[in-house]
Every structure is written in C-alpha cells, then in structure tokens.
Amino acid sequence: MESSRVSTGSPELDDLLGGGLERRTITQIYGEPGCGKSTLCLLAAVAVLDEGSPVVYIDSEGFSVDRFRQIAGDAADSLAEQLFLFEPSTFDQQAMMIGECEALVRTRRAGLIVLDSATALYRSEMLPGGEVQRRLGHQMVRLLGYAKRFDIPVLVTNQVYTDIDRGVIKGLGGTTLRHISKAIVRVEKRNRSRRAVLEKHRSMPEDAAFEFAIVKEGIKRL
C-alpha cells in the first residue's frame, strides 16, 4: 500500500488536503456554478497524467477539450492518450459507466478516477428523493471499492442548492455523499476571486482555506 498522497496539481490545494488526494478514499469538491470545480478536476487529472499514470475521467456535463488544452499546455495531445473519458448523459448511464470503467482502471493501472459531477444528472432525475439518493449511494460505494482495491484516489464534484429556510448554500447528494467523502472542499465564489475551504478532513484542521483566481493554466493563489 502506497502511503504517499497524489498531487492535485496545485501546491495550495495539496497543502489544504495534507499533501494531496488521499488514496483509497473519495475527495469531494463542491460549490456553485463557475466556482472552479471542473478546473480543479482537470488540474488534478493533468498532474496525474504528467506523472505517467492514466486517468479515468467521467464527465457528466460535457468535457471541455479547450479547457483541457489550456491546462495541459504543450503536452495536451500526448497526455490525452492516457485520459479515458466517459460522458454519460443520464443518471443510469452514469451508473453503467462507473461499472464499465473498472476494467480500464485495472488493466491500465489508472492513477486517478474523476467524476465531474456526481450530481448534475442526479439532479434531473424525476425519481423520489430517497430512491435517487440510494442510487447515488450505490455509485459512490462502487467508486470507493475501486479506490480501495486499486489503491488510488477518487475525486468527485458536487453541485449546490440553496436552503431557502436558512438562506445558505448546501451540497447536493444529502448525507450519503457527505459521509462517503472523507475530504470535502467547498469553493466559494466572490466576483473574480475564489476561496477553497476545507469542510471535512480526517487528519487536517477544518476551516483552513486559501484564495485563488482561475487563470488559463488552472488556478493562481491570491
């Protein structure tokens, strides 16, 4: 079992997470639209690809080749060869692709699985809340199984909703997604700047934070 963490491609985010993404666990990034979730996923994917490991990338929102190119830079074409992209367009397809990607993770020895986002398609399901949460739970348990079996991290993003009674923004996916994510980073958006806050972690102080701006190459600390 390797104990070293896996770099997110951002020294600041690595520090916040106690050295990077923890193997054998799910790390969750959540926040409102445009806060930088996909940017952070692409950064982490490129960092793992740069180290020579393949990445399984499940993108339920439409993968941006342009953004991948900006973040990967000159190496984009060669790095893309080891990026295994899945693009589900329904929540059922997402479940199916999570099942299908196991063989790839095993045979290609992927170093990271990204699911961006776990809840975009979940949110459009017309099923009763309990049922859709149960299905999301299944998908997460499956991903967690891969993380443990193959000793790699899983990075997922999560969308938000406004709790009207309390006037606060919360992550979707309910307690299921909160429990199964061993590290949770909330990204707050303030005009042009962003703030990444550690909301849950097993071995780092919660509420630690850093501010950043989104730039062509990824993110830049402010």
Ligand X SMILES: Nc1ncnc2c1ncn2[C@@H]1O[C@H](COP(=O)(O)OP(=O)(O)OP(=O)(O)O)[C@@H](O)[C@H]1O
Residues lying near ligand X in the complex (CB under 6 A) are found at 31, 33-39, 61, 67, 70, 214-216
Instruction: Work out how close the CB of 35 gets to ligand X at its nearest, in angstroms, rounded to a whole number.
Output: 4
Query: What's the one-letter identity of residue 33?
Result: P
Minimum CB distance to Mg ion smaller for 23 or for 68: 68
Minimum CB distance to ligand X smaller for 97 or for 214: 214
Minimum CB distance to ligand X smaller for 123 or for 148: 123
Instruction: Work out how close the CB of 157 gets to ligand X at its nearest, in angstroms, rounded to a whole number.
Output: 7
**Whole-angstrom distance, CA of residue 28 vs CA of residue 179:** 11
Instruction: Work out how close the CB of 34 gets to ligand X at its nearest, in angstroms, rounded to a whole number.
Output: 4
Instruction: Work out how close the CB of 36 gets to Mg ion at its nearest, in angstroms, rounded to a whole number.
Output: 8
**Whole-angstrom distance, CA of residue 9 vs CA of residue 77:** 18
Minimum CB distance to ligand X smaller for 96 or for 215: 215
Residue 154 zone, left/alpha/beta (φ > 0; ψ -120 to 50; rest) = beta
CB 91 within 8 A of CB 135: yes
CB 188 within 8 A of CB 35: yes
> Which stretches of the chain are DSSP H helices?
11-16, 37-50, 65-72, 76-80, 91-108, 129-150, 174-180
Q: In the numeric block, which tokens belong to residue 40?
A: 């952070």
Minimum CB distance to ligand X smaller for 61 or for 102: 61
Sign of CA dihedral 34, 41, 153, 2: negative
User: Residue 52 touches which of Mg ion, ligand X, none (CB < 5 to 8 A by kind)?
Assistant: none
**x/- binding map, residues 8-47, to Mg ion, per CB under 5 A?**
-----------------------------xx---------
Instruction: Work out how close the CB of 102 gets to ligand X at its nearest, in angstroms, rounded to a whole number.
Output: 26
Q: Across the strands, what pairs with 161?
A: 170
- Write out the residues near Mg ion by the rule CB under 5 A: 37-38
